[in-house]
Amino acid sequence: MELVPLLVLTIIGYLSGSIIERRHFRSIRERESQLIGILTFSAKLPPAEDFDKQSVLVTGNVVISVDYFKHISAALRNLIGGRVVAYETLMDRARREAILRMKTDAKEKGASQIFNVKLETSSISKGGANQIGSVEVFAYGTGLI
């Protein structure tokens, strides 16, 4: 009988986490389509014809927490090996969100292109047994106005 509330809370947690993740991906796709005009390049320098443009540092930062179910999924995957898809979706969301925030910063500063785009990733919180609690992704580059 005591197992029923635990099972109900587990199901509610899993469903709400899935809904939140789907909403976040939908939001990301919408904002990506809105900011598609701001071009990003990993090239260190812009083309020679853009050297006379004003440059500005643009940044975007995000911290996303790893939910309990991703921990369980990753732990099970570690037993048999292979891709840890639960963490891949987490990192995909974090990278895309950081880039969107960087593009938003560029738009606010009047930049239309971003060169030398870099991403820095780190875990900023550790749970028991060295588990990742949350990840941070910091995107930065040189915006050209």
Q: Which of 128 and 54 is assigned the larger pLDDT?
A: 54
Instruction: For Cα atoms 65, 123, 136, give the angle at the middle one, nearest 5 degrees.
Output: 65
- In this structure, how many other beta carbons lie within 10 angstroms of the beta carbon of residue 78? 10
**Nearest partner of 104 among 10, 23, 9, 28, judged by Cα:** 28
Average pLDDT over residues 101-130: 88
Multiple choice CATH, 3-144, 3.40.50.2000, 3.30.460.80, 3.30.110.70, 3.30.360.10: 3.30.110.70
Give the domain ranges of the chain.
3-144
Average pLDDT over residues 118-139: 80
- Say what the alpha-carbon torsion angle 86, 138, 30, 109 is, to the nearest 10 degrees: 180
Task: Please answer whether residues 121 and 136 qualify as being in contact, where contact means their C-beta atoms are separated by less than 8 angstroms.
Answer: yes
Model-level pTM? Answer: 0.84
In what helix (H) or strand (E) does residue 70 lie, and over which residues does it extend? helix 68-80
Q: What is the pLDDT of residue 128?
A: 60
Question: In sequence order, what are the residues at sequence separation of 6 or more whose Cβ sits closer than 8 angstroms to the Cβ of residue 33?
Answer: none
pLDDT tens digits, one per residue of 52-110 = 889 999 999 999 887 777 767 766 777 777 787 778 888 999 999 999 999 999 999 99
Cα–Cα distance for residue pair 98/109, rounded to 1 Å: 17
* Cα separation, 114 vs 116, whole angstroms: 7
pLDDT at 12: 81
Q: How far is CA 60 from CA 38, 94, 111, in A?
A: 14, 11, 14
